[in-house]
Amino acid sequence: MSKETRAGNRAAAATPGPTSEPGGHKPDTLSPAENEAKYQDLVERANDGIAVIQDGIVKYANPSFARMWGGSVAEIIGTQIADHVHPDELPLVMDRYRRRMAGEVVPAIYETALCRKDGEKAHVELNAGIITHQGRPADLVFIRDITERKRADEEIRKSKDTYETLIETLPEGVTATDLEGNITYVSPQTLELHGYDRPEELLGRSAFDFIAPEHRERAVTSLTETSEKGVVKDVGYVLLRKDGTRFAGELSAAVIRDAKGKKMSPV
């Protein structure tokens, strides 16, 4: 490990503290060599990748970084860090590295992308800071692989886009509210039915504002029933347009739940 680690161990050993445990027993103490071995073991067994970069060269890499890259520690040591950064991210990563080493304040934690040994892109979160390695400044970098999380986020985004497209092409109007009946989403067809031009004109308003006064009590009952049963179908109402004119409509509603089954909103 680096001299900074050894210095840190000596500082930790010198920190004032109790000299004995209750009952007069002296606490166990570790020698500097034992401390060094303990922290070395922690670094070697860490789930995140850890690297020490000095003069743009990888001076140390733990086994997790090697596995993430797809090779061995021996293959990584001595390589240029730029060789491990994805080309799309190279200007940003190297600019932050150079500025950090020059003493400038740059983000310590940020997301970027590296290249695996086989050329595959790996999305990562970096956490970097300056240490002293063999008497000179170096960059200590913790590397967390977030590739699977990024893939999951992309799948969610694609699914959301698909469902939004389906909703926006339905002939019926679709409206989402919170559990109190306040509007959180309206489809283009809903805007057209009620004579509005922009979603912002409806968002945040009570859905009951667009139901004729004589039918609002029934609507409150339906909202409660939807929350309790999960769904109601084909309930007839007199609805209101922006200009105050009326039209007959049928409403069906269902409760949307999150991944844990918690109620989110009726649609």
pTM above 0.75, yes or no: no
Structural domains present in the chain: 3-10+31-149 (3.30.450.20), 170-266 (3.30.450.20)
Averaged pLDDT of the chain: 85
Q: Model confidence over 45-101: pLDDT tens digits?
A: 889 999 999 999 999 999 999 999 999 999 999 999 999 999 999 999 999 999 999
**Three-state secondary structure string covering the chain:** CCHHHHHHHHHHHHCCCCCCCCCCCCCCCCCHHHHHHHHHHHHHHCCCEEEEEECCEEEEECHHHHHHHCCCHHHHCCCEHHHHECCCCHHHHHHHHHHHHCCCCCCCEEEEEEECCCCCEEEEEEEEEEEEECCEEEEEEEEEECHHHHHHHHHHHHHHHHHHHHHHHCCCCCEEECCCCEEEEECHHHHHHHCCCCHHHCCCCEHHHHECHHHHHHHHHHHHHHHHHCEEEEEEEEEECCCCCEEEEEEEEEEEECCCCCEEEEC
Q: Model confidence over 14-28: pLDDT tens digits?
A: 333 444 445 555 555
